[in-house]
Amino acid sequence: MKRILIFAVTALVLALGCKPEKETKPVDPVNPTDSSNRLTPYTLVAPAFFPPIVVPEDNKPYVERVQLGRRLYYDSVLSNDGRSCSQCHIQSRGFLSDHIAADGLTVMPHVNLAWNKNWLWNGGEYGPMETVMLFETHTFFETDLRKLNADTTYRRLFKQAYGVDQISFGEVTKALSQFIRTLISQNSRYYQRLTGKIQFTADEMAGEAIFFNEKGDCMHCHNTPLLTDNDFHNTGLDSDFSNPTNRGRFNVTGNPADMGRFRTANLYNVALRKHFMHDGRFKTLEEVVDFYNNPPKQSATLDPIMVKNNKPTKGLGLSPVEKYQLIQFLKTFTDTTFINNPAFAKP
Ligand code: HEC
Ligand code: HEC
């Protein structure tokens, strides 16, 4: 009855052509409409060649939400020991650092994660980005929500962005995801070449051919344009899995078929790393390419792609010049616009 009355009044107001008072319109925290004029729409579009970006229905992008997430990312308020996300995920390094966690795992970069579903090196978290953000805040940082709720600025910003009076992990994880979804690299030499803006040098071109043809066969796992298939593989780094750090996905599923399988690394800005692979065992791209060029270590779960074309006995058989060319191509994944973008920096 009441609803019908409201409807009738609204219809009358609209019919008379005057807008209802902005202040009297409550913001729908799930999906504030543009007509509420409270939030500024944020255009989150996939660059050419990338798959469309799917965002959760209850966390549509808005400028105020992205900015709130950015503020949180750089703020030690989320932790209890002075750490912020940005301390290990450093923009100038492609949002990673040389930190090695207590479990022996290296930091993963925050770049082009808007398409991701499997999270962490071993896929310990799965689903929309909000899922892994709950792990990062609630479990890893043990974020104390009382600190956020005691802060009048944050209360105002969360009220504005999500319409809530009490800040919960739901809104914290949503806001962080909003910011990290905007961290898209679309100006590396690799991407400029993909979109026909530049030509590669002769060495880069030769390296690109090795990466994409049967000789290097890298693209089976690091495929265009995300440079990862978002799946798990045992690339033959180990044959002995007594060290838990090297067990990968097995640590999550307990399934022997997952022993030594890790998520394919996304290679954007990979040249900015100082140590490579889940445990940082290689210190240079030369060492990485040597690893791929040598026969893989045998084990029951070794990926079939790693044993194609006599690889188990001969390796890839790249000459020193070809190895150099492959590295020149890997360096085209570096995006200096991305690592210097003021929109991603500390607010
Ligand atoms: C002390 C260093 C450190 C800090 C601080 C830190 N991280 Fe990380 N981060 C890591 C490491 C190490 C990994 C890889 C861990 C793994 O795979 O188990 C990681 C992985 C991630 C991933 C997974 C990325 C992917 O591709 O799957 C996300 C997302 C992430 N961190 C977000 C955050 C957020 C948000 C914060 C702040 C709340 C944060 N991190 C703070 C070290 C850190
Ligand atoms: C069978 C799938 C597969 C193939 C083929 C493959 N990779 Fe990988 N790559 C992975 C996985 C999985 C990881 C992460 C492994 C780990 O850390 O244990 C990785 C990691 C890397 C890294 C380190 C990234 C980082 O962030 O530390 C580089 C560089 C790399 N691969 C380059 C290449 C090149 C070059 C080729 C071709 C010669 C290649 N890959 C072929 C699956 C593959």
* % the chain with pLDDT above 70: 88
Cβ(121)–Cβ(105) below 8 Å: yes
Residues within 6 Å of ligand 1 by CB:
78, 83, 85, 87-89, 99, 101, 105, 107-108, 113, 116, 119-121, 132-133, 136-137, 141, 176
pLDDT band at 30 (very low <50, low <70, confident <90, very high): low
Task: Choose one of 219, 267, 306 to mutate for the ligand 2 pocket test, by most ligand atoms within 8 angstroms of C-beta.
Answer: 267
Q: What is the pLDDT of residues 99-152, one digit of tens each?
A: 999 999 999 999 999 999 999 999 999 999 999 999 999 999 999 999 999 999
Out of 73, 95, 106, 107, give the residue to mutate to test ligand 1, the one with the largest number of ligand atoms within 8 Å of its CB: 107
Residue 177 has pLDDT above 70, yes or no: yes
pLDDT at 307: 85
Residue 175 · residue 161 · CB < 8 Å: yes
116 CA distance to ligand 2 middle (Å): 17
Position 38 confidence tier, pLDDT thresholds 50, 70, 90: confident
| Ligand nearest, relative to CA of residue 132 | 1
Name the residue with the closest Cα to ligand 2, atom 2.
221
Greater model confidence, 2 or 170: 170
- pLDDT band at 308; cut points 50, 70, 90: confident
Nearest atom of ligand 1 to the alpha carbon of 106: 12
pLDDT at 320 over 90: yes
pLDDT at site 314: 75
pLDDT in tens, 235-244: 999 999 999 9
Tens-place pLDDT, residues 251-268:
999 999 999 999 999 999
Name the residue with higher pLDDT: 309 or 304: 304
Two tokens, residue 291: 């690893």
What is the dihedral sign for C-alpha 263, 264, 265, 266?
A: negative
Geometric angle at alpha carbon 127, from 245 and 242, rounded to 5°: 15
- Please list, in sequence order, all residues whose beta carbon lies within 8 angstroms of the beta carbon of residue 57, skipping any fewer than 6 positions away: 30, 31
